[in-house]
Amino acid sequence: MDTINTYLVAVARSLRLTDDELARIRTSIGNLQAKLDNCFGDDLIKHFQFGSSTRDTILPRRVDDESDIDYMVVFKNDDDYKPQTLLNQLRRFVESKYTRSEIYQSHPTIVLELSHIKFELVPAVMPYVYNDCYHIPAPSSGFMDWILTEPMKLKSLIDDANARYNWQIKRLIRLLKYWNVMNGKVYSSYQIEQYIGQLVFFNCSMLEDYFYHAVKWLPEDGLPQYKKDKVQRLKGKVEEIRKDYYDNGYKYLAMRDLEKLLPRV
């Protein structure tokens, strides 16, 4: 019979992309890169993948149908175009190169949805002072102005935390993102990763230790009541599972409840 830790490790492992999924994504990225270079040529400074897919925290689409690949396209922008102009250029690009795919604008991105993965293409320009920072469209301005972003900053945070805490952080993030999806996305994926990346863990060695600690301190401030209720139910259930398993000897009941909370994938 599984222990709590072996069960969590198995579920976290199953939430990684398969080799086949990774291979198909790499092929799609290679095709996208070639088409961008062919279409825009010297009008681009660079383009690159970022986001959860580069942090090994992305969930497979069989678990989260909104999983996507974030991809930044950095324009020279010699004519000082406003963000919506570059968004329009990206939209025309994907409409001409991916005629059978679903394409739409969402927030500061152009979404390209293929059969096996979804790309979010983000137009960007270089700021005057460059330090791994870029300007991307600001949704709050109606895409008329730019906002500064550091697309690789969270990756550094997660990688550092993962190395510092026994290589358990990325597993933990996938588990919490899985619970989050099953509960109507109480948090954004970014919020979960930022929270875990900044959390301090004491006396944790196994994945279950990290899981208990992270759930116990899940933030509730600013959440509407119906989301707070979901977080509080999670905290209560995890504490009940822990007590049943270790204090009361009801291991079967504890494992049964854990499998309901985070079903096998």
pLDDT in tens, 191-205: 999 999 999 999 999
Tell me: pLDDT of 102 over 80. no
Amino acid identity of 125? V
pLDDT in tens, 115-133: 788 999 999 999 876 778 9
Rounded to an integer, the average pLDDT of 145-160 is 95
3-state secondary structure of 61: coil
Pairing label, strands 109-113, 118-125 = antiparallel
Q: What homologous superfamily does CATH list for 19-151?
A: Beta Polymerase, domain 2 (3.30.460.10)
**Long-range contact pairs involving 232-239 (C-beta distance under 8 Å, separation at least 24):** 234/179, 234/183, 234/261, 237/261, 238/211, 238/212
Spatial contact of 148 and 127, defined as CB atoms under 8 Å apart: yes
Spatial separation of the C-alpha atoms in residues 32 and 150, rounded to whole Å: 22
pLDDT score of 189: 96
pLDDT in tens, 214-230: 999 999 999 999 999 99
